[in-house]
Structure 1
């Protein structure tokens, strides 16, 4: 007999930390993110009103590559990876993937981000810039889960591809990308310091 893997979900992983000048660039990004968290009153108000434990620019600033040179440089890196990912997925595109939005996340200890998808985009992802010991992994959900009905649980030695949930543990510089329909979440941050990341959508 043989098994034929069908309808495979491909998650893209790469690292900016392998490039020259990453450490300095990473520190610059952290400094800009910290400055935003102090000066973005609208973002802080949104976080307070929505019980977000930390800071995100998701609902307040949508022009970061135009506002800060550090984000313009980050966009150039992400554009290259988005093109590589779309090519690996064999997408038939009329144009290159276009960065639709980009936002920063500071998740304080005890904070998390519940399960969600990213509508109105086809590629989404996160680049991680400060991941202390004990920081949350990215939790990905098998998209077939709502349709599994009476499917049994899997054994302990089941492969990653057969599990209903997969936890990816990033490091500073890690880029993770997935198709925007893939449900994901950030479990509670168990670290003693902030978990800092930058998320994005391509349309």
Structure 2
């Protein structure tokens, strides 16, 4: 690929939120042309979005040294300076506030968030979070952010203690269970973490029952794929800070569309969800399990569609508002194959997201998506998808089951 073509593709990746792919292309360019101002500016842009201002600053400086009047680099230079100034100003403001209101747990919590997120200083966030918890022991937000910061600092014991404080009050708390599972894996307590995930019993797959009026699932999926692609709730512009999807299109409220295939899917999904609940292990056999002890007597459903193309994927995440989450696979690209050692387009479980380091100690499970199959799992189970290339689209419908 020519450098100009590679740069155009990198810009497309970056504009679509595929920062990793853009950075990889730029890295190849910089191996050949280390001072290339465009590649350096694009890399800086991706680094700034990833919360790495030091790396962003290095590439901006290189770009400006090579092309002092290159406008994108000049813009980034100003943005990075503003970022630094804004954090410093916010720091001063919080210190003044905490002097005036030292008993405000929310002020200490917000100050901890400033240190952890904007200043990228998880170590500096620990004391504010602990002060917030001392003032408001029943608040789960500072405990959860304390646990996240501790995991970033490889202090799994402190993170688990923060999670256990929340779980003592709210045994089915989604984020606390997700972070606790990561802590347990990191501490070598694999059997306890695997119990939470429940691979094969709580985390399992089903084939969708064939809806009436369709000769087979392949025909039904073709109709459903067309309905998802043409859905009035389709959005090709979405906020990557609020969604795990990277690249592609999002379809909001996918079930709220008067289309025969979508109506048929909704009815078939209800059958599978009822079957899942009946197939669960007897809660009496493990009465303290957070998923089993919270089996709902009634539920509401929130569903959305994901349309991914080359390089598109879902970053590691959990579903904070659900009891059970899942995904139905409507259409898969040619790259999704059984014998692929890279598992392109597959779904992966148990590797943490949200900036939490992967220590490599988790029991990572993978599943090859297959059109016509549903994967169901407790909402606190970490999951992500592996990017794919080679054309085609990966169309799925994801959903959360919320207890009424």
Which TM-score band (shorter chain)?
0.7 to 0.9
Choose 1 or 2 for highest CA Rg: 2
Q: Does 1:126 align with 2:327?
A: yes
Match of 1:79 among 248, 254, 270: 270
Is the Cα contact below 8 Å between 1:103 and 1:200 reproduced in 2?
Answer: yes
When residues 122 and 82 of structure 1 are mapped into structure 2, their CA distance, relative to the original with a 3 A threshold, is same
- Provide the C-alpha distance between the structure 2 equivalents of 1:88 and 1:102, rounded to a whole number of angstroms: 22
Is the Cα contact below 8 Å between 1:117 and 1:184 reproduced in 2?
Answer: yes
When residues 133 and 72 of structure 1 are mapped into structure 2, their CA distance, relative to the original with a 3 A threshold, is same
Q: CA deviation at 1:142?
A: 6.2
Match of 1:109 among 307, 310, 318: 310
When residues 45 and 142 of structure 1 are mapped into structure 2, their CA distance, relative to the original with a 3 A threshold, is closer
Is the Cα contact below 8 Å between 1:47 and 1:53 reproduced in 2?
Answer: no
Cα deviation 1:111-152 (Å, max 9, x = unaligned) = 111000001110111110111222310000168xx8x98xx9
- Provide the C-alpha distance between the structure 1 equivalents of 2:271 and 2:372, rounded to a whole number of angstroms: 15
Gaps of 5+ in 2: 1-190, 283-291, 337-344
Match of 2:219 among 6, 14, 24: 24
Match of 1:141 among 337, 350, 356: 350
- Provide the C-alpha distance between the structure 1 equivalents of 2:271 and 2:218, rounded to a whole number of angstroms: 20
Match of 1:56 among 235, 250, 271: 250
When residues 63 and 113 of structure 1 are mapped into structure 2, their CA distance, relative to the original with a 3 A threshold, is closer
Match of 2:261 in 1: 70
Which moved further from structure 2: 86-95 or 24-33? 86-95
2:236 is paired with a residue whose SS is helix
Match of 1:14 among 206, 219, 236: 206
**Correspondences of 1:147-166 after superposition (within 5 Å):** 164-166=363-365
Match of 2:37 in 1: none
Q: Does 1:182 align with 2:373?
A: no
Task: Calculate the aligned-residue CA RMSD, in Å.
Answer: 3.1
Count residues with an aligned counterpart.
178
Gaps of 5+ in 1: 154-162
Which moved further from structure 2: 88-97 or 108-117? 88-97
- Provide the C-alpha distance between the structure 2 equivalents of 1:82 and 1:17, rounded to a whole number of angstroms: 12
Match of 1:198 in 2: 397
- Provide the C-alpha distance between the structure 1 equivalents of 2:269 and 2:368, rounded to a whole number of angstroms: 19
When residues 16 and 73 of structure 1 are mapped into structure 2, their CA distance, relative to the original with a 3 A threshold, is same
Match of 1:157 in 2: none
TM-score calculated relative to the size of structure 2:
0.39
TM-score calculated relative to the size of structure 1:
0.74
Match of 1:167 in 2: 366
- Provide the C-alpha distance between the structure 2 equivalents of 1:141 and 1:176, rounded to a whole number of angstroms: 14
Cα deviation 1:86-106 (Å, max 9, x = unaligned) = 22224464524432x111111
2:246 is paired with a residue whose SS is coil
Is the Cα contact below 8 Å between 2:254 and 2:305 reproduced in 1?
Answer: no
Q: CA deviation at 1:200?
A: 0.8
Q: CA deviation at 1:47?
A: 6.3
